[in-house]
Amino acid sequence: MLDTNICGLKLKSPLILASGILGVSYSSMKRVMDAGAGAITSKSIGPRPRKGYKNPSIFELFSKTFINSVGLANPGIDEFEDEIKKIKQFDFPLIVSIFGDTIESYIEVALKAEDYGCNAIEINISCPHAEVSSIGINPDLTNFLVKSLKKEISIPVFVKLNPNVTDITEIGLAAEKGGADAVVAINTIAAMAIDVNTHRPILSHGSGGLSGQAIHPIAIKKVYDLYEVLHIPIIGCGGIFSWEDVIEFLLAGASAVQIGTALYNGVALLKTINKDLENFLIKNEYSSLSDLIGSAHKFELQEVPEF
């Protein structure tokens, strides 16, 4: 009943682990898999090991909302080979998030990830506290990177979009025209918190990315706008804590969702949301989740009357 197909990836649930949350080792990814996720997105992996920023790198601003600036810390694609292969022994959909400092390095990481056995690539061009964000705010750079990757790899390419732009649909269209198989909306929102006693930013890096419940309505709006113009699947991401949050993304136009921040309380939430989604479908006599995708667009929005 919850089966979902994204660009040929067969998911038993629409819930996908978001990049940056628990997707850094086989053991943590296996826990998410066993808890009921339909697919896993790894932490963003680059061409070489990267330490990231010093602590404090993550801080809970208020309930269910965090600000973080990890700085793309990762072991590098060569060291990550074993983690990919361990997950792949279960024939479970694995999406590897990648980044690079040049087009060539993006391609290098993507080719290795594909060779190691992942099912799809998610390109990170939108992390608000790293250099890659400069790509995700430029439609020409986005288009060129996607087009370059599609020439080299045969597995699907997902593009994680930057919400810190004037018009996200412009970037989404550039990704689609470059050959992207799907987009992920949204990444974290550029933010900062300052300690009133020390007079300095709380995060060691200064600024960071806002995630969790506070960004959910923003993510819904971005997905809604993207659905109006794109012809490729949209994976919604931002502040999912319940089955209602998932359904809202589907109604806005998402075909699946990514969940991240909510898992700070444990991965058991995935099982709960899956069960609640099944109950919702049965109660409302829907045969599948696909019946809901984009339904909010069937209603005309009220226009301001002319005087």
Domains and CATH numbers, the chain: 4-298 (3.20.20.70)
Report the distance separating Cα 271 and Cα 7, nearest Å. Answer: 24
Query: pLDDT digits over 274-290, tens only?
Result: 999 999 999 999 999 99
**Number of CB atoms found within 10 A of residue 273's CB:** 25
Q: How confident is the model at residue 303, as a pLDDT?
A: 74
Query: pLDDT digits over 109-118, tens only?
Result: 999 999 999 9
- Mean pLDDT confidence for 231-250: 98
Query: pLDDT digits over 195-234, tens only?
Result: 999 999 999 989 999 999 999 999 999 999 999 999 999 9
Query: pLDDT digits over 26-69, tens only?
Result: 999 999 999 999 999 999 999 999 988 899 999 999 999 999 99
Q: Output the pTM of the full model.
A: 0.95
Residue 49: both structure tokens together: 């090991």
pLDDT over 90 (residue 300): no
The highest-confidence range among 132-146, 154-168, 293-307, by mean pLDDT, is 154-168
Cα 191 vs. chain centroid, distance in angstroms?
18
Q: Which of 111, 112, 89, 93 is nearest to 8 (CA)?
A: 93
Report the distance separating Cα 24 and Cα 42, nearest Å. Answer: 6
pLDDT over 70 (residue 187): yes
Report the distance separating Cα 160 and Cα 158, nearest Å. Answer: 7
Query: pLDDT digits over 134-157, tens only?
Result: 788 999 999 999 999 999 999 999
pLDDT over 80 (residue 10): yes
Peptide bond between residue 233 and the one before it cis (omega within 30 degrees of 0): no
pLDDT over 70 (residue 91): yes
**Number of CB atoms found within 10 A of residue 178's CB:** 20
Q: What's the DSSP call for residue 1?
A: -
Strands 9-11 and 4-6, sheet pairing: antiparallel
Report the distance separating Cα 83 and Cα 43, nearest Å. Answer: 11
Question: b or e along 232-263 (b: 16 or more beta carbons within 10 Å of the residue's beta carbon)?
Answer: bbbbbbbbbbebebbbbbbbbbbbbbbbbbbb
Report the distance separating Cα 204 and Cα 14, nearest Å. Answer: 35
Question: b or e along 8-36 (b: 16 or more beta carbons within 10 Å of the residue's beta carbon)?
Answer: ebebbbbbbbbbbbbbbbeebbbbbbebb
Residue 214: both structure tokens together: 């506070």
Q: How confident is the model at residue 130, as a pLDDT?
A: 61
Q: What is the mean pLDDT of the chain?
A: 94
Q: Give the angle subtended at the CA of 162 by the CAs of 51 and 145, to the nearest 5°.
A: 80
Q: What is the rounded end-to-end Cα distance, in angstroms, of the chain? A: 50
Phi, psi at 21, each rounded to 5° = -120, 105
Q: How confident is the model at residue 149, as a pLDDT?
A: 97
Q: Which residues are catalytic?
A: 127
Query: pLDDT digits over 229-239, tens only?
Result: 999 999 999 99
pLDDT over 60 (residue 129): no
pLDDT over 90 (residue 301): no
CA atoms within 13 A on the CB side of 304: 1
Q: How confident is the model at residue 53, as a pLDDT?
A: 87
